[in-house]
Chains A and B, each alone.
Chain A
Amino acid sequence: MQDRKLDGIVLRTQGLGKQVSSPEGQLTILDDVDLEIRAGESVALVGPSGAGKTTLLALLAGLDQPSRGQVWLCGEDLTTLDEDGRARLRGRRVGFVFQSFHLVPSLTALENVMLPLELAGRADAAVRAREVLDAVGLTSRLSHYPKQLSGGEKQRVAIARAFVTRPEVLFADEPTGNLDTASGERVADLLFGLNRQARTTLVLVTHERDLARRCDRVIEIVAGRLVT
């Protein structure tokens, strides 16, 4: 599949399916999903609650394993990698932004942004983290703990943390879902701005039509199947 990457495809799925056991028997969450996303493209995954958007995002990022089918991320078949292999791949290529921010409460804003660089063993973690926090307008909040930040500020720290490793692919799960309209817009501007600037591929799950419209492509999922 290396040739696919050369063609500019960073994410590809083939016959992707996910089933889980439930008291009512096997439940199909995703069924036969074929998808290709090109480098630098921004894609919104939309659909009603329970349609399988977040499950698809988890499978694309290698956070979960499919019941059927295959996923290629940056040319590597995730289904052939074990958990550590997938983790290493994510560490090199992927960034995340979550609806509930997922900042570590015991770390300051600066330390939260340094975290992925430190995990990668980078010596310049503090310098790089400061730069990115400057870029998201949080220079004055470096030593603040998450509980001292507003929702919008928390998400900006999370975006800084996602971009600090210069990932090829950025996954965002409802990045503005927990924010008011004004903060949400500011966060979205930042996300798309950095995306363009760094030429990152952006895959985001959202309920918000305005946010989805700002993406190059909108993929709608209903009952586990792609309809667009």
Chain B
Amino acid sequence: MKTLAWALRSLARDLRAGELTVLVAAVVVAVTAITAVGFFTDRVARAIRQQASAVLAADLVIRSPEPVARVFLDEAHALGLRTAEAIAFPSVVLAGDEASSLATIEGVGAGYPLRGEIRVSTQMFGTTTVADGVPARGEAWAEPGLLGQLGVDVGAAVQVGTRTLVITRVLEYQPDQNPGFANLAPSLLVNIDDVAEMDVIRPGSRVTFRQLYAGEEAALAGFRARVGPRLGSEAAFRDQKDAGEQINAAIDRAQGFLTLASLVTVVLAAVATAMAARLYALRHLDTVALMKSMGATQVFIERSSLAQLIAIVLGTSLAGSVLGYAAQGVLARLSVGLLQIELPPSTVTPAWLGVLTSTTVVIGFALPHLWALKRTPPLRVLRHDLPPPALATGVTYAIALGALFGMIYAIVRDLKLVGVVVGGLLALACLAGLAGFGLVRLAARFRGVAGVAWRYGIANISRRGGESVIQIVGFGLGLMVLLLLTVVRTDLLAAWQRTIPPDAPNYFLINIDPPSWPALRKFIEGELGGRPSALPFIRGRLIAIGGIPVQDLAITDPQGLSFIRREQNITWTAELPASNAVRAGTWWGAGHRGEPQVSLEEGVARGLGVSVGDTLTFNVGGEEFTAPVTSIRHVQWDSFAPNFYLMLSPGLAEELPQTYIASFYVAPEKRRLLNSLVRQFPGVTVFDLEAILAQVRMIVDRASAAVQYVFLFTLLAGVMVLLAAVQVTRDERRFESAILRALGADRRTILQGVAAEFTTLGALAGALAAFGATAIGLVLAERVFDLEFRISPWLWPAGLLFGSALVGLTGTLATRKAVNESPVVTLREA
């Protein structure tokens, strides 16, 4: 109790006297940054997830081949959720006596879609508008492909089973439209109440019943937990995560960028805190020696230091979280226009990140310095020249970095990302340390070369040896982050945006009969100005792995299970498509005509437990064939090129009945001509990817904007490191300048010397920072974000100029007060 009371009193006095300002400010900035990022990304991520809901038409969907119990809807209403129902099944649609086509009939009920929107037009490929509600009874909205196949237009009557419907709209976009190829027939959207009157659903019909839910996350989670165990074996939940690979890949990248920002902030804050704590400890050596001479024991000092640090942790967590919350509020308001997303309110969870951050940073990086204080020899009260107690630097920082690494991992849960950033910063710190020693030695040679100010400045760098190295490391890290956030960030974001080029395919054609392909191709190239790429396409089922039937294998992975339960799309090609990269094994290469080979997508390979060398047996249209897996591929799902889980080497399946799949880009002004394509090639199904493409582009753009905002806080942390680094030599500088001024040097000369010193330190740190930023940018782009990164030629000159200017200016400005202070005051204090 005595210790606690003393510790708190003494902490209050230190705070009042400004002794802890830098340390507390560094931790508060860290907590503010991490919680602001936390609160904001929490909201943005949830908003982005809601965007994904728009693709799914709901937050949560139950899909089942059997009717879903209606009691679930009542339970959902009781929990405050909104609901809707939908039924989908294939059926023949008749138009007049002659025309008929297979279509996917989509019966939707009131309220559909719960998220997102249906877009319709009054003529094929015409101007689209957002539909108000769902088709009225007796009405139907048809996809252009269906209209083309039937040879009818809006206003025509069509028949499904025993029910006649009038087509009142062209269905241009409907959420929950899987851009995969499983759903081959074009859609006809009708009112769910008309479905019963069609009288086409019989036992054994391929029907998909859906119940859609939307509402608060907690309510959804509660609903899922209650209903989950009662779902039949055939029914399954779908949520945002199942919204489609393209959207998921975009969201994952967005979160990667956002977490990167918070991660770098934490590391920087830790560096700033360690520097500030070291300074605090050095300044308190005499006080501790004095306390010991007055009877304070080591245990007392140890406990009071700990109590003070705990108080700092609590105080900074609270202050930082409150500031962080306020900052994210401003951030959210600022971003309203730019982000174009309505942000849901934040949860309180990110406040815990603040406590975690403060604890890790303070205990990991400040405690070691304060802990060492207890070993201050009391004799220091008489012999001021006694060195400060040694810090077991290696062990201490290893533990601190371990804690930091652990904390960051707890936040981002991405070992690779954490490894790259922490490893990169650590490598840079070591490199900066080594280079610092080099410069300090080199500086000694140049001290005679320049004028008096430079001589004084450069001499200071070599004289201050250890301190200079610490400053170079601090400045280097600070600058590197600034460079990463300015130059590299723009490059990374640009690289991300480049993944969806302006002419990314926006239309897919499937069901192309091979003999008609040359004519179709000519039409696309001639009339639509597109450059189509086509791949052959068959459907087959995996029946055995290594000769063992799949049903006898213990496959538990959901992706693996889903893969073996369904027919898969299979293609064959000699060339590895641009959106694919081989991760294991080798691609068969162009001109391969030897033994048949298989290439698998990495996720599926993992799910099936298959690796290079295993043999797979397929059944395609009743024929079985076996081939070894020779490569595992990474597929860039958001590339908008036709991508396949399964690829075969040419030759194996060429004799089997097949169709082609083609993709191409059509400029908006030529979209109307698709109408004639549909009429000329009625067997072909057109998939409009424009909507999903726009969705992914929007996610990329909005996430980029969010990241830019979030990086502002990281910038602030970078500036804190710079300030802490400047503070390292502040006391010494005050004393020195007082002595120099007492000896007759004018303020101008001293300030010039200081400027020379900081400019030199900044230039070196800037060069190191450019090196570090390039390396980290490259690794991040290629290994983490899977982007093609071009090194900006501006990075190095920017690093040097930015470094010397920023550090020179900040250092000189921060030291100006010390230099200006009356030498009498300073010397009297000493």
Q: Which of A88, A105, A145 contacts B295 (CB 8 A)?
A: A88
Q: A63-B378, A147-B829 are in contact. Are A102 and B290 (CB under 8 A)?
A: yes
Q: Does A111 contact B (CB under 8 A)?
A: yes
**Interface set, chain A 53-72, CB cutoff 8 A to B:** 54, 57-58, 61, 63-64
Contacts of A61 in B (CB 8 A): 293
Expressed in whole angstroms, the Cα–Cα distance for A219 and B13 within the complex equals 41
Q: Which of A54, A111, A116 contacts B294 (CB 8 A)?
A: A116
Contacts of B348 in A (CB 8 A): none
Expressed in whole angstroms, the Cα–Cα distance for A89 and B292 within the complex equals 11
Expressed in whole angstroms, the Cα–Cα distance for A146 and B829 within the complex equals 8
Expressed in whole angstroms, the Cα–Cα distance for A96 and B290 within the complex equals 9
Expressed in whole angstroms, the Cα–Cα distance for A88 and B295 within the complex equals 5
Q: Is the CB of B297 within 8 A of A84?
A: yes
Q: Which of B291, B299, B382 contacts A98 (CB 8 A)?
A: B382
Q: A84-B299, A98-B381, A147-B825 are in contact. Are A90 and B293 (CB under 8 A)?
A: yes
A176: min CB distance to chain B, Å: 16
Closest residue of chain A to B14 (Cβ to Cβ) is: A106
A135: min CB distance to chain B, Å: 19
Expressed in whole angstroms, the Cα–Cα distance for A102 and B286 within the complex equals 8
Expressed in whole angstroms, the Cα–Cα distance for A106 and B296 within the complex equals 18
B633: min CB distance to chain A, Å: 64
Contacts of A146 in B (CB 8 A): 829
Q: Is the CB of A119 within 8 A of B6?
A: yes
Contact with B along A78-89 (1 / 0, CB 8 A): 000001100111
Expressed in whole angstroms, the Cα–Cα distance for A74 and B291 within the complex equals 20
B160: min CB distance to chain A, Å: 85
Q: Which of B17, B18, B291 contacts A119 (CB 8 A)?
A: B291
Contact with A along B1-16 (1 / 0, CB 8 A): 0100010010001101
Closest residue of chain B to A161 (Cβ to Cβ) is: B294
Contact with B along A85-111 (1 / 0, CB 8 A): 001111110101010101011110001
Q: Is the CB of B379 within 8 A of A118?
A: no
Closest residue of chain A to B15 (Cβ to Cβ) is: A106
A interface size (C-beta, 8 A): 36
Q: Which of B19, B295, B299 contacts A116 (CB 8 A)?
A: B295
Q: Does B237 contact A (CB under 8 A)?
A: no
Contacts of A104 in B (CB 8 A): 287, 290
Closest residue of chain B to A116 (Cβ to Cβ) is: B294
Q: Is the CB of A63 within 8 A of B381?
A: yes
**Interface set, chain B 331-365, CB cutoff 8 A to A:** none
Interface residues of A (CB under 8 A from B): 54, 57-58, 61, 63-64, 83-84, 87-92, 94, 96, 98, 100, 102, 104-107, 111, 115-116, 118-121, 145-147, 151, 165, 173
Interface residues of B (CB under 8 A from A): 2, 6, 9, 13-14, 16-19, 286-287, 290-300, 377-379, 381-384, 825, 828-829
Extra A-B contacts (17), CB below 8 Å, given A87-B296, A88-B295: A64-B379, A83-B297, A84-B298, A84-B299, A87-B295, A87-B297, A91-B295, A91-B296, A94-B295, A98-B382, A105-B17, A106-B13, A106-B19, A118-B6, A119-B6, A121-B2, A147-B829
A-B contact pairs, 25 of them (CB 8 A): A58-B382, A63-B377, A63-B379, A64-B377, A64-B379, A83-B297, A84-B297, A84-B298, A88-B295, A88-B297, A90-B293, A96-B293, A98-B382, A100-B384, A102-B381, A105-B17, A106-B13, A106-B16, A115-B294, A119-B295, A121-B6, A145-B17, A147-B829, A151-B828, A173-B382
